[in-house]
Amino acid sequence: ATVSPPTPVATVSQYACQRRTTLENHNKIFTEAFEVLAESYEFNMNEGQCLAFRRAASVLKSLPWAVLSLGATQDLPCLGQHTKKVMEEVLYYGRSFEVDNILSDERFQTLKLFTSVFGVGPKTAEKWYCRGLRSFSDILADRSIHLNRMQQSGFLHYGDISRAVSKAEALSLRNIIDGAVHAITPAAAVALTGGFRRGKEFGHDVDFIVTTPELGKEDRLLLNIIDGLKRQGLLLYCDYQASTFDMAKLPNHRFKAMDNFSKCFLILRLESSQVEGGLHSVEGDSRGWRAVRVDLVSPPLDRYAFALMGWTGSRQFQRDLRRFARAERRMLLDNHALYDKNKKEFLAASTEKDIFAHLGLEYIEPWQRNA
Ligand code: CTP
Ligand code: MN
Ligand code: MN
Ligand code: MN
């Protein structure tokens, strides 16, 4: 009789940067529940538990199979008692009662609504909630509340920018930015990054990296692009941040949302006639245009690979790249640079492949970084 060898089961790494995560999620019923819990912990400023649920969701997203029993999760990393209890509920009842309770909680619902406005973070939302405010009309009617410029634009364009941006709209915006850039200098280049580079069909915004071969001209380039968009009547909102990049500084392994490159957070006017197949939003199309959130970042050319890596995301993938670099390689990585603490030197990279190679990691394609 032939004895079949034991089926080799590939072990799943605790690091997202050692997993290939496509957009095909076989475990949505669990990951959607985990995302609600993570968000709830985020609102309660419990960073540890928030991250634990995001990590657990990320592990399940990477699996090419659906979890059908708790037993199947035995060898998976990052799944603690609490996550398994939630999975058990979902497996047996098709829902998690803990998640249902959160979803029907007034505080959660209100904070979720308020933070859906561009420029409103958890702290501001909490402050408004504590004042007894529960709806947008409550906020807009309260004379004692001062909205900053970003929040004013957030409310003004709420309908448009809370609606997803389609791939076709993103590509149309690339043409527009490309045109603005080449009117300034033919030597500059534009690259689509963020979720669309990872292959997503929809996003909450569109992210671009613009570069010029002349070192030190990054700020100027971005200001010129903004000026060009303004003259075309496309600029609805602009928050420009000049570069504070210091090339001598060591990378910050902490995953903060911000890097020090020259960048701007925009709301642009997108004409229906410029989008193949029209605008994604039905309502917007009857008006002939819609507002879209666009991010532009302009790193010095020698930092392009690090910026592209960081801005391609996903957040969880980038978080784990940094955690892996520090814990497993004694290296510090951020959107600007990679530093080897053993050799006490910066490691240069001109492509993302160089960065993976420095870290001793297999190359992971952008569409496999949907951790
Ligand atoms: N990012 C960053 N610094 C910022 C803003 C964003 O490094 N100041 C990075 C984030 O870490 C993320 C990527 O840029 O990995 C894209 O951010 P974002 O647009 O928020 O997310 P997407 O993955 O593009 O998702 P979506 O489709 O919802 O826009
Ligand atoms: Mn599959
Ligand atoms: Mn994005
Ligand atoms: Mn963005």
| Candidate list 160, 207, 259, 334, residue with the active-site label | 207
Q: Which ligand is the nearest neighbour of the Cα of 202?
A: 1
Q: Is 11 within a domain? A: no
pLDDT tens-digit readout, 228-275:
999 999 999 999 999 999 988 999 878 876 899 999 999 999 999 999
- My answer on whether 186 and 265 are in the same domain is yes
pLDDT at 284: 65
Measured in Å, residue 208 CA sits from the centre of ligand 3 at 9
Ligand 1: atom nearest CA of 255 is 11
For residue 310 and ligand 1, the question of a CB distance below 6 A is answered with yes
Ligand 1: atom nearest CA of 205 is 29
Q: Whose CA is nearest to atom 13 of ligand 1?
A: 311
| 207 noted as active-site residue | yes
Ligand 1: atom nearest CA of 258 is 8
Low-confidence ranges of the chain (pLDDT < 50): none
Measured in Å, residue 64 CA sits from the centre of ligand 2 at 5
- My answer on whether 66 and 179 are in the same domain is no
Q: Whose CA is nearest to atom 3 of ligand 1?
A: 258
Q: Is 9 within a domain? A: no
- My answer on whether 122 and 29 are in the same domain is no
Q: Is 46 within a domain? A: yes
Q: Is 4 within a domain? A: no
- My answer on whether 129 and 210 are in the same domain is no
pLDDT at 255: 81
- My answer on whether 181 and 296 are in the same domain is yes
Q: What is the CATH number of the domain that holds 58?
A: 1.10.150.110
Q: Is 5 within a domain? A: no
- My answer on whether 177 and 270 are in the same domain is yes
Rounded Cα distance, 229 and 49, in Å: 42
For residue 203 and ligand 1, the question of a CB distance below 6 A is answered with yes
pLDDT at 10: 77
- My answer on whether 319 and 237 are in the same domain is no
For residue 262 and ligand 1, the question of a CB distance below 6 A is answered with no
Q: What is the CATH number of the domain that holds 245?
A: 3.30.460.10
Q: Is 285 within a domain? A: yes
pLDDT at 305: 98
pLDDT tens-digit readout, 81-134:
999 999 999 999 999 999 999 999 999 999 999 999 999 999 999 999 999 999
User: What does the H/E/C string look like for the chain?
Assistant: CCCCCCCCCCCCCCCHHHCCECCCCCCHHHHHHHHHHHHHHHHCCCHHHHHHHHHHHHHHHCCCCCCCCHHHHCCCCCCCHHHHHHHHHHHHHCCCHHHHHHHCCHHHHHHHHHHCCCCCCHHHHHHHHHCCCCCHHHHHHCCCCCCCHHHHHHHHCHHHHCCCEEHHHHHHHHHHHHHHHHHHCCCCEEEEEHHHHCCCCEECCEEEEEECCCCCCHHHHHHHHHHHHHHCCCEEEEEEECCCCCCCCCCCCCCCCCCCCEEEEEEEEEEHHHCCCCCCCHHHHHHCEEEEEEEEEECCHHHHHHHHHHHHCCHHHHHHHHHHHHHHHCEEECCCCEEECCCCEECCCCCHHHHHHHCCCCCCCHHHECC
- Answer with the one of 156, 188, 219 that is the final residue of a domain: 156
| 205 noted as active-site residue | yes
Q: Is 364 within a domain? A: yes
Q: Whose CA is nearest to atom 25 of ligand 1?
A: 195
- My answer on whether 145 and 65 are in the same domain is no
Taking the alpha carbons of 180, 183, 188, 189 in that order, is the dihedral positive or negative?
A: positive
Q: Is 8 within a domain? A: no
> Domain total for the chain?
4
Provide the domain limits for residue 360: 308-368
Rounded Cα distance, 337 and 20, in Å: 23
For residue 299 and ligand 1, the question of a CB distance below 6 A is answered with no
Strand-pair partners of 264:
240, 296
- My answer on whether 169 and 296 are in the same domain is yes
For residue 259 and ligand 1, the question of a CB distance below 6 A is answered with yes
Q: Which ligand is the nearest neighbour of the Cα of 162?
A: 1
- My answer on whether 65 and 96 are in the same domain is yes
- My answer on whether 140 and 187 are in the same domain is no
- Answer with the one of 124, 156, 188 that is the final residue of a domain: 156
For residue 157 and ligand 1, the question of a CB distance below 6 A is answered with no
Give the rounded distance of the alpha carbon of 202 from its chain centre: 12
- Answer with the one of 58, 76, 102 that is the final residue of a domain: 102
| Candidate list 100, 178, 219, 295, residue with the active-site label | 295
Q: What is the CATH number of the domain that holds 142?
A: 1.10.150.20
pLDDT at 294: 98
pLDDT at 247: 87
Q: What is the CATH number of the domain that holds 325?
A: 3.30.210.10
| 227 noted as active-site residue | no
Measured in Å, residue 91 CA sits from the centre of ligand 2 at 20
- My answer on whether 178 and 279 are in the same domain is yes
For residue 195 and ligand 1, the question of a CB distance below 6 A is answered with yes
